[in-house]
Structure 1
Amino acid sequence: KTRAVKAYVASCKGKLTLHFLPGYAPELNPDELVWSHAKRTGNARRPLRAGEHLEDRIQLQLAEMAARPDLIRSFFRHPSVAYIADC
């Protein structure tokens, strides 16, 4: 909303669109869809084993998700974040 941002957007001559989001709107954030998927399908579904670390398990799960571009794309096609692809 600053003058510098407004000037930059104007210099893009319609190639850039700003979407003003509320201060707190997790339902509009694709990251929240990633974490929701992770909780529904992985780490929250089974307890840690003796000596196992949550951080290691989460890193592994995120790496497995990253290896599935179709899954990642699906988060950005979700209706709640349609504003992202609104071009």
Structure 2
Amino acid sequence: MSAISTKARMHFMIFTESFDATVMCRFLARIVGHFDRKVHLIVDRHSAHRSKTVRSWLADHQDKIEPHFLPSYSPELNPDGLVNADLKRSLPHTHQARSRTELAAETRRFFHHRQRQPHVITGYFKAPHVRYILDE
């Protein structure tokens, strides 16, 4: 999972278990640990994002992070979806993973590579169907 910013920052976490509220809370904790100011995180309406566990975690950390939910069925508003598409397009060309461990390692390499490419990260926000206005 990943989070990107209009300032060309990318944070990610690789996990091999199913995505659920526990995984989401781990990711949220990592995100807030990187900043000394309040984080405004735009998320879709995945059930894990809206779960009681996550809502409770957010309530306990409301001074550090505030979620903003996208409208239902609005992938065009989510530039992080382009990160996922980029990952899915890139991985088959670079490696054929034979195990979950290999897939996790290749995914980690992809994200580390993208973190060193700020022009690509800001490009996710400039896609024709993504409706964000950047301060440039």
Residue identity (%): 32
Go from structure 1 to structure 2 and tell me whether the alpha carbon gap of 1:50 and 1:80 turns closer, same or farther (over 3 Å shift). Answer: closer
Higher strand share: 2
SS in 1 for 2:130: helix
Residue among 77, 89, 92 paired with 1:44? 92
Tell me how far 1:49 sits from its aligned partner.
4.8
How far residue 52 of structure 1 moved from its aligned partner, in angstroms, is 5.2
RMSD, aligned α-carbons? 2.6
Q: Give the ranges of 4+ consecutive aligned residues of structure 1 lying more than 6 Å apart after TM superposition.
A: none
Give the unaligned 5+ runs of structure 2: 1-68
Give the greater-gyration-radius structure (CA). 1
Distance 1:24 1:51 in 2: 30
- Name 1:58's counterpart in structure 2: 107
Instruction: Normalising by structure 1, report the TM-score.
Output: 0.60
Structure 2 match to 1:33? 82
Count, aligned residues: 66
Amino acid in the other structure paired with 2:92: A
Q: Which has a greater percent of helix? A: 1
TM-score between the two structures when normalised by the length of structure 2 = 0.41
Is there any run of 5+ residues in structure 1 with no aligned partner, and where?
Answer: 1-19
